[in-house]
Structure 1
Amino acid sequence: MKNRLLRLTAVSFCGLALANGDLLPSRMIGSATTNSFAFITPAHADDDDGGDDDDGGGRSSSGRSSDRGSGGVWRGGSNLLDLFRGAPEKRTARRPPPVRKPTHVPSEIIALGLDDASIQRLGERGFTARARQPLGLSGSQIVKLSVPTGMTIEAARQEIAAASPGSVADLNHYFEPNEGAVQPTPCGEGRCALVRTAIGWPEPDAGKACIAAGPIGLIDTAINPDHPALRGVELDIVRLAADEAPESGRQHGTAVAALIAGRQDSRAPGLLRNARLIAVDAFQKTRGDTDVAETYDLVRAIDLLATRGVTVINMSLSGPHNQLLEKTVELVAKRDILQVAAAGNDGPRAKPVYPAAYPQLIAVTAVDRNFRPYRRAAQGDHIDVAALGTGVWTAASVDGGRPRTGTSFAAPFVTAAVAILRASNPSLSAEEIGKLVAQTAEDVGAPGKDPVFGWGVLNARELCRQ
């Protein structure tokens, strides 16, 4: 074997040389009788690339590997370059980058505070007023304007904002419902139906002290009023989108409405009995089968509820910061109306979403029945309180019920709670009711307010004692 190696002429493989008198690498094993070498590459020692058998036998059903198949071993009979190649790398198909969802209506600006003269001047500059509606909260109108061709949307926003003193202009952002991932939840022996007992939710016959102050406002997707859990419930539904716009799905809105006010004798009993709901469907279905609400419609929905005398507004939805939305929630707070919003399901490291992150609202995150945070729930200094949000039993879209998960289904617990507190403490302001919720919460995180649970988990045991 040694003599045969000495007769090799200098050959370079990948920068390594075998010359007369050179020693073989320690990982090369020679055989004097077969004139073959084995080279084992550690990086591929456990790989199985499924290569052809050099003997022509291929891979047998018994698992016999080819000469280069298992462990990247070269046994001769092929090109010596295979000594250094090892087994071919396994290549995985590249995943295409995720398609970014549009965050706003393209080439469109919405504005508050524009008078007719300003709108006319903007029209002369190439803007087109596509829709407008007066608002009771601000005493002005909200206007939807298309951007002139060739003008950037930011330049358009600045020009519209400067068109009238005190006006506010922003993009027409999209908002979506805050439902989390579907999670299989064991519901044997009424576990899902009774999950609310984990926070001591009062029984329906708890007495007059547990009657909610109403009406309760709800901004969500479409609702199925014929669901058995909602039949006979005092429920007013208002749809804002144009008749020709595709109706939003009924799953989310029906689930949230029933969780708040579902009939007690149904398969999906609600948290409150004899509650009145005013529900505004501000959403519409997109081509991608996603339910979205434009800021234009969201502002109109909040304004409608505020002028209908609701005591609290539930918003299980989220989106980006918007100046018109911020202005609107500020005006609602001045009307002494409580506002509750889901904190979002983009994960604990995600940026805050709105309207939950505005200080005028109660931002609600989700926990399970053991008070562990929902893994996809948002976190941050803006979080006010946590409530049950995983495996929450509520109405399905057509009939019966099912467990739902997400901060969307945690928010209604707080909405129902503040409605009860408002009824039993009519002299307290909305701000004071919010503080009462925080003071009675069960502190399960770091002492005091923390970014995971806020002030703690909603403690319903204190609701009817106030």
Structure 2
Amino acid sequence: MRQWTALILIFAALMPGSVPRGVAQVALPSVQLPDATRMLPPLPNLGTEPLARVGDTLADVRLERITNLLRDQRDRIEPDRNGEPAVRGILVATGVDDAMIVRAAEKGFRLLDRERIEGLGLDIVRFTVPGGRSLARAQKQLAKLLPDAEVDADHLYFAGGPGGLLPAATLAAASTSGKASLGLIDGGVAAHPSLAGRVAQRGFAAGAPAASRHGTAVASLLVGTGTVRGSAPGQRLLAADVYGTDPAGGNASAIARALGWLAQNGVAVTTISLVGPDNKLLAVAVSRAQQRGMLIVAAVGNDGPAAPPAYPASYQGVFAVTGVDARNRALPEAGRARHIDFAAPGDAVLAATGLASADRLRGTSFAAPLVAGRLALRYPAPAVDRIGPAVAALVMEAHDLGKRGRDEIYGHGLICGDCGGR
């Protein structure tokens, strides 16, 4: 407990604040293929737009994406009480005992399953919503019925950037175990030459692991070598595919399970370039992983500075990363959490996107792994007493941008300024 208290104090000093929801990244090429990871639609050239108009454009894009998703996948997805997309007809809860399950059943909330995430020591209960009742209404009712439990919808989280699933034959090695300093929660990773022999992955959704361009790009920016070089080149990576081919993949339950698997396998630093709303299950899972010494690095998303902040980047103690262009200016579409910790290249970033392909990509998704890799070089194994020195070294490495000292746009400054094929 004394070690965890020290960890909280370190994070409070270096990364104050936390907040709610958001979205994600943009690929430079405007052509995208359907993808189970639900990519952000192409945007206009935001660099030529006034900031207020950028905010309006991004807000419209976000609303359009959610509206289309709810329409196209109505049999699997529905809105929660705040209008956020979630798995249809399912509520997830923690802190539930047998008496609570009986009480819920009496009111029509049937127990779907109980699960223990061993790596986090976390018990999850899933209930089905009574027939004819909307998720939004049921969410309020079950929370009132079980006031001592943490009840929420199983929210969906979005990746952004190069869309499209890749052929199964391109999948990097699949594995259920193995030690590594770095972890990734995203779509599946393809066997690009820059990643050869260093990626093991596991699926946490139907059809997973399934190689995706977004997951491959982020992986290459972590551990890639050769022409596509990551910020921690040559390191081993454990990749958790939370999307697979499931239209309702990328949900809070899948991300929580992925965190448990990574924690079990000794991952010290995990990158999550996915964004969505605050979620009680995800918040607990992130906290449990942090208590075990895992550092989590997340993108702030691409909903623009006026948008509600994205999760998990906005949780306390998570390293929130924004993106900058070639002139080290913040991307106009980059979101702002209550805390921004670091900036990294997020425009025209060279990343692997398939078995033998690489492209220049744009978005905060591709800035986050550059910070995570540099952090992992200083923090190769989970050890709470080593967090302080590792974070302090990363802060010292950062090149100050914007206002002198830490600021709300760039955090402590730019990391890996010469990364991403600059």
Question: Deviations along 1:232-272, whole A, 9 cap, x unmatched?
Answer: 22x211001134x8x766100111112211233xx323332
State the distance in 1 between where 2:120 and 2:349 align: 37
Alignment of 1:381-400 (within 5 A): 381-400=338-357
**Equivalent residue, structure 1, for 2:401:** 444
Aligned length: 327
Pairing 1:330–2:287 present: yes
Amino acid at match of 2:197: G
RMSD: 3.0
**Equivalent residue, structure 2, for 1:217:** 183
Aligned residue among 215, 221, 225 for 1:259: 221
State the distance in 2 between where 1:227 and 1:378 align: 30
Cα pair 1:178 1:342 within 8 Å, conserved: no
How much identity, in percent, do the aligned residues show? 33
**Equivalent residue, structure 1, for 2:197:** 232
State the distance in 2 between where 1:250 and 1:425 align: 28
- Unaligned segments of structure 2, at least 5 residues: 1-59, 71-84, 164-178
**Equivalent residue, structure 1, for 2:43:** none
Question: Deviations along 1:387-416, whole A, 9 cap, x unmatched?
Answer: 011111111223131111111110011111
Cα pair 1:389 1:406 within 8 Å, conserved: yes
**Equivalent residue, structure 2, for 1:51:** none
Alignment of 1:32-431 (within 5 A): 98=64, 100=67, 101-102=69-70, 103-154=85-136, 156-161=138-143, 166-179=148-161, 214-224=180-190, 226-233=191-198, 235-243=199-207, 250-264=212-226, 267-285=227-245, 292-423=249-380, 428-431=385-388
Secondary structure (helix, strand or coil) at the match of 2:121 reads coil
Cα pair 2:303 2:333 within 8 Å, conserved: yes
Amino acid at match of 2:128: S
State the distance in 2 between where 1:227 and 1:115 align: 46
Distance change in 2, residues 1:354/1:108 (3 Å): same
State the distance in 2 between where 1:137 and 1:112 align: 15
Distance change in 2, residues 1:157/1:426 (3 Å): closer
Amino acid at match of 1:253: G
Cα pair 2:206 2:244 within 8 Å, conserved: no
1:120 is displaced (CA, Å) by 4.0
Cα pair 1:222 1:248 within 8 Å, conserved: yes
- Which structure shows the bigger proportion of residues in helix conformation? 2
State the distance in 1 between where 2:251 and 2:329 align: 33
Cα pair 1:380 1:452 within 8 Å, conserved: no
Cα pair 1:390 1:406 within 8 Å, conserved: yes
User: Greater relative contact order (Cα 8 A, min sep 6): structure 1 or 2?
Assistant: 2
Secondary structure (helix, strand or coil) at the match of 1:350 reads coil
Question: Deviations along 1:328-373, whole A, 9 cap, x unmatched?
Answer: 1111221121110011011121110000011210000001232111
**Equivalent residue, structure 1, for 2:19:** none
Distance change in 2, residues 1:134/1:310 (3 Å): same
Distance change in 2, residues 1:286/1:336 (3 Å): closer
Larger radius of gyration: 1
Cα pair 1:228 1:400 within 8 Å, conserved: no
1:124 is displaced (CA, Å) by 3.5
When normalised by structure 1's length, the TM-score is 0.63
1:446 is displaced (CA, Å) by 1.3
Secondary structure (helix, strand or coil) at the match of 1:149 reads coil
Distance change in 2, residues 1:356/1:403 (3 Å): same
When normalised by structure 2's length, the TM-score is 0.70
State the distance in 1 between where 2:228 and 2:360 align: 10
